Structure 1
Amino acid sequence: MQFHNLTVAQITRETEDARSYALLVPDALQQSFAYRAGQHLTFRVNVDGEILLRSYSLSSSPEAGGLPVVTVKRIPGGRASGWFHAHVDAGTQLEVSAPTGRFVCKDMDAPLFFCAAGSGITPVLSMIRSALVSTSRAMTLYYANRDGGNTIFAAEIGRLSRDYPDRLTMHLHYDDVHGFPESGKIAALLSSVAHCQLYLCGPGPFMQTVLEAADAAGMAPGRIHLERFDAAAREPDVAAPAVSPAAACDATVTLGGARHVVRVASGQSLLQAALACGVDAPYACEEGYCGSCAAKCVDGAVVHARNDVFSADELAAGWILTCQARPRQERPVAITFDV
């Protein structure tokens, strides 16, 4: 994964625990850092002598203009988020990889329904900003927070609702006033917006509540798009297939037009094998939820230990998460990142 040095131009304090960082992109890197609303950047930071990779979503909008902006919420025990808040100032240079991520709006005319909680609003706000200025689509936002004081982008969301009253419908939920979000109420809201596309981002329990609501509302899986950011807090995926270590085999990896043949040891992921052979493959979370390591399997078969990115149709089309994918059989496999 290639990293570039970008300079922090400005820092905005959104709440006590959330800050936004605007980044200056040199002219020579403008094309590399072109992004779609909903995508994220991966940062390489040195925290107490240890190199950490962390992905943070862009809250800015390419269609709305301005510098790219990521928003970082400081979490208890979060080494990277704590480092950002303590050590990053205007003028700080950061190591950043090009934008990636599949949590983006599909090109269609269907209404948009966004559900976000806490810092899950970051990619959602990016998509709302872009959709408002580049489409005529109607959209609804259900945004849950512990209380009003912890609502990231409260002022910006209020401004957008005033500027676009006929296109943006708001439902702000505060746990200290309304209790924990109820799937029944969310299901009723989803049912009231016919044929909508649902985009969901937030903590695990909230996302599970919304998914239950979507099921109760009869939403087809193809209309539901989600992004997770708290892999460590999730319960094990009991539906994930057991991954039995297969015998070692070869894998052909295509990246940047170059082909590499790597040896995949028994129990090793395709990403691990590629990195061990010096292939500069993209990745970030290594937990199967960010999608930074996405590729396509063009020959052979793989099995995922975990997958929180691709739908059944996408898996059938060959999409894989290389950090979680292992050869299913002893025969060689071929994958490509050039998609």
Structure 2
Amino acid sequence: MGAGFHRLRVSEVTAETVDAVSLTLRVPPELAPRYAYRPGQFLTLRIPTADGSALARCYSLSSSPHPVNPGADLTVTVKRVAEGRGSNWLCDHVEVGVELDTMPPAGTFTPRSLDADLLLVAAGSGITPVMSILRAALAAGSGRLVLLYANRDERSVIFADELRELAAAYPARLVVLHWLESLQGLPGRAALAALAAPHAEREVFLCGPAPFMDAMTHALRDLGVPRKRLHIERFVSLTEDPFAALADASVAAAGSVESPAESSDGSPAEDSAEDSGEMDSSVEVRLDGEHHTFRWPAGTVLLDLLRDRGLDAPFSCREGACSACACRVTAGEVKMRRNEVLDQTDLDEGYVLACQALPITESVSVSYDE
């Protein structure tokens, strides 16, 4: 299957609600290191289409890497979306024994410490990565958790039974606050602020539909919550198939490096390096515990450089929309052509998207291991 993705067998299918399923994927022992993950991360799945082609979609992991060993079976939870080709196929066609092409876990929506007190906020299927964090924190941490979870009605609450059981099992550490539109109407900015106010000093993890996240973000701003304590998970549908790109790369001649005057799709770059501040650079890369140093031509994005040099640098969308390729700049500076997912806290800590990163200093150091 190549170094970038692997075929995993579905070992369990769980109906969570009438329109949401959890798919558990069996990770063989030899792939355990590559599929070790942090709570809140996601998988990219390859989904076949009726015309024989494929599309790629990112789905958050709802399972926890704790207390089991890293690399053990992992679970994604998928909610059916109207006209959603990926979610409908997964909900309708996947059964135990089906094999799915997957990329290893990725993403930055994960707490620095499982011992911290957290405010977890979700709406609808946004509960998926939040549930991963909640499960992990209760199993392996000591912090107190408040979950604010909004849904249309009681039937649409994913993980309803488990949340009830966890709240009963950890009464001193977990409080679950439900908001049901059928009873309370749409959650507005003022109402959300009132619910969040007693917990506004905590780190906040937020995931859900865009209107809900916008309302919650404004509510937290009204409470004076600094942006650095707010972590937001967003996904943008991928327009390209990264699995096809990996398959093409596996048979391409090794050592070819893009012309510095061309963008990653071979078309002329929008700005010349001279006009945009880009310059030829050298880059030191730490990946999988090893150090590498390369010349980094102006106009070549970091991901393309590394993969052309034979490094198995992670990626998914190549569009700046999923954070699978995120790495941390530890010295020097880069600029990004596009960024749909990293928030200001991530940027302040030096995280960038390798598929969008271009050099603007004479030397740069990046790490995938931090």
Deviates more, 1:255-264 or 1:308-317: 255-264
Tell me which of 52, 57, 75 is aligned to 1:54.
57
| Letter paired with 1:41 | L
Q: Which residue of 285, 289, 292 corresponds with 2:324?
A: 292
CA shift digits 1:269-328 (9 cap, x unpaired): 443555567654322234434311112335653222443444445434432112333344
2:152 pairs with 1:146:
yes
| Contact 2:232-2:343 at 8 Å conserved across structures | no
Alpha-carbon spacing, 1:30–1:50, altered in 2? closer, same or farther (3 Å): same
1:49–1:297 distance in 2 versus 1, CA, 3 Å: farther
Match of 2:123 in 1: 117
Relative to structure 1, the CA distance from residue 326 to residue 115 in structure 2 (aligned partners, 3 Å threshold; closer, same or farther) is same
Deviations 1:44-79 (A, max 9, x none): 333333233322111112225473111112222322
C-alpha distance in 2, partners of 1:208/1:300?
A: 33
Do the aligned partners of residues 164 and 13 (structure 1) sit closer, same or farther apart at CA in structure 2, a change above 3 Å counting?
same
Alignment-derived partner of residue 96 in structure 2: 90
Instruction: Spell out, residue by residue over 1:82-122, the C-alpha distance to the aligned partner (whole angstroms, 9 max, x if none).
Output: 22223321011122222222211221654211100111101
Q: Aligned AA for 1:120?
A: G
Taking a change above 3 Å as real, the CA distance of residues 2 and 108 of structure 1, as seen in their structure-2 partners, is: closer
* Aligned with 1:206 (options 208, 212, 231): 212
1:19 counterpart letter in structure 2: V
Question: Does the 8 Å contact 2:43/2:103 carry over to 1?
Answer: yes
| Cα distance between partner residues in 2 of 1:144 and 1:298 | 39
Contact in 1 for aligned 2:114/2:142 (Cα 8 Å): no
- Give yes or no for contact 1:264–1:270 (8 Å, CA) kept in 2: no
What is the CA RMSD across the aligned residues, in angstroms?
2.9
One-letter code aligned to 1:127: I
Q: Does 1:245 align with 2:271?
A: yes
C-alpha contact (below 8 Å) 1:203/1:230 kept by paired residues: no
Q: Distance in 2 between matches of 1:136 and 1:264?
A: 47
SS of alignment partner, residue 213 of structure 1:
helix
Q: What is the DSSP-based 3-state SS (H/G/I as helix, E as strand, rest coil) of the residue aligned with 2:78?
A: strand
Contact kept in structure 2, 1:297 and 1:318, CA below 8 Å: yes
The answer to whether the 8 A contact 1:227-1:290 is kept is no
For residues 198-256 of structure 1, what are the alpha-carbon distances to aligned partners after superposition, in whole Å with 9 as ceiling and x for unaligned?
11111111111111111111112221112112468xxxxxxxxxx96232856647455
The one-letter code matched in structure 2 to 1:62 is: P
Give the distance between the partners of 1:171 and 1:316, measured in 2 at CA: 32
Gaps of 5+ in 1: 233-242
Deviation at 1:26, TM superposition (A): 1.4
CA distance in 2, matches of 1:114, 1:20: 20
Aligned partner of residue 272 in structure 2, secondary structure: coil
Report what 1:193 is aligned to.
199
Q: Which amino acid aligns with 2:84?
A: G
Mapping of residues 321-336 of structure 1, within 5 Å = 321-328=353-360, 335-336=366-367
Number of the residue aligned with 1:45: 47
Q: CA contact under 8 A between 2:116 and 2:142: conserved in structure 1?
A: no
| 1:151-191 deviations in Å (ceiling 9; x for gaps) | 21122222222222332212111223222211212222222
Q: Give the equivalent residue in structure 2 for 1:235.
A: none
Aligned residues: 327
Distance 1:334 1:53, change over 3 A: farther
Alignment partner for residue 12 of structure 1, among 11, 14, 25?
14
- CA distance in 2 between counterparts of 1:111 and 1:59 reads 20
Residue in structure 1 matched with residue 303 of structure 2 by the alignment: 271
Structure-2 change in CA distance of 1:90 and 1:109 (3 Å):
closer
With normalisation by structure 2, the TM-score equals 0.77
Is the Cα contact below 8 Å between 1:202 and 1:229 reproduced in 2? no
Please tell me whether the aligned partners of residues 236 and 322 of structure 2 are also in contact (alpha carbons under 8 angstroms).
no
Identical amino acids, percent of aligned pairs: 40
**Structure 2: where are the runs of 5+ without partners?**
239-268, 274-278
Pick aligned residue for 1:320 from 348, 352, 364: 352
Give me the whole-angstrom Cα distance separating, in 1, the residues matched to 2:13 and 2:180: 26
In structure 2, distance between residues paired with 1:231 and 1:96: 16
**Pair 120,293 (structure 1): closer, same or farther in 2 beyond 3 Å:** same
Q: Distance in 2 between the 1:157 and 1:108 partners? A: 18
CA distance in 1, matches of 2:358, 2:115: 38
> Is 1:157 matched up with 2:159?
no
Q: Decide whether the 8 Å contact of 1:115 with 1:200 is kept in 2.
A: yes
Other-structure match for 2:82:
76
